[in-house]
Amino acid sequence: MDVKLYALSTCPYCRMTKRFLEEAGVEYELTEVDLLEGADKQAAIDEVKSISGGTSFPVLVAGDEVIVGFNKQRIKDVLGT
């Protein structure tokens, strides 16, 4: 299953999500939106809005599931960890 995480480098919940995925051995693609610049940053923000309906972080996309915020139990359920 493809897993993608949209995060902010300064967000504590984003850091908790990254740590949880790493400790669970989950491979994922990471986009730290606040570290992007110009058109790349705007494209990432637009993508997050279209996926989650807003601009709250973190946004975890696992297959067809979208999880906004750090919800450890839901992440476990979706990823089967």
3-state secondary structure of 73: helix
pLDDT band, residue 81 (cuts 50/70/90): confident
**Cα–Cα distance, 39 to 5 (Å, whole number):** 19
Q: Where are the domains of the chain?
A: 3-79
Read off the pLDDT band of 20 (50, 70, 90): very high
If phi > 0 it is left, if psi is from -120 to 50 it is alpha, else beta; for residue 70 that is: beta
Please state the pTM of the whole predicted model.
0.94
| CATH T-level topology, domain 3-79 | Glutaredoxin (3.40.30)
Cβ 66 vs Cβ 52: under 8 Å? yes
Q: Average pLDDT for residues 72-80, to the nearest whole number?
A: 93
The whole-angstrom separation of Cα 21 and Cα 15 is: 10
pLDDT, residue 19, reads 97
